[in-house]
Amino acid sequence: MGKKVLIATLYGSDPVMLSVTKLSPDRLFLLMNKEPNAEQEKSLKIIKDSLGSVLEVKTIKVDLYDIVGIAEKVVEIIDSQPDEDEILVNLTSGRKTQSIGLLFAAYARHEKVKKIAYYPEESKEVVYLPRISFKLTSSQKRILEYLNSHKGDKSMKELAEKIDLSTAMLYRAIDELKDMDLVSTDDGIKLTDAGRIARL
């Protein structure tokens, strides 16, 4: 049987302590600023002092305002856990940008994340958010991967040849990706930040 792994944003200690009490994880990953402020350091000390003897606590330093970078880092954490482990996510504490990056990572690994929790201050009730998936087709995934690894402007014809799609299928896939805000066609075909996250 696998372990429960909780990934949470950190600012104040209370939301993390509450989620640990409710979800009973075996491992805890805390997303912290690369340069933590005094409040984060204090919260981390409270959590380690209270929980360090009963569960594994690890900190992950992230760039506070880099949503894509945060999502990439969390996807790495999720992918490094054994397949049988149950991944849980808590978005409550920390900055909004950290929570958004964590949420997008949960969407990118929809099949591995079992719960996405939020604990409103006004209530002691847990709000479980929907586990949404990007639901990309194989053609859409190939387009995003190609655009991510080959920077610079690409014409539709060049892109169709490189990823082995008919021009008609490519136009349709690009329209769908544009509608999901995963690519931009304003100045050539380019990935948006959301597209960079969806391809994870």
Domains and CATH numbers, the chain: 4-129 (3.40.50.11700), 138-198 (1.10.10.10)
**Predicted confidence (pLDDT) per residue in 34-50, tens digit:** 999 999 999 999 999 99
- Tokens matching residue 171: 């136009």
% of the chain residues with pLDDT over 90: 70
Q: What is the pLDDT of residue 189?
A: 86
154 pLDDT band (50/70/90 cuts)?
Answer: low
Residue 102: is its pLDDT beyond 90? yes
Q: How much is the average pLDDT of 5-26?
A: 93
Q: How much is the average pLDDT of 194-198?
A: 93
Q: What is the pLDDT of residue 150?
A: 81
152 pLDDT band (50/70/90 cuts)?
Answer: low
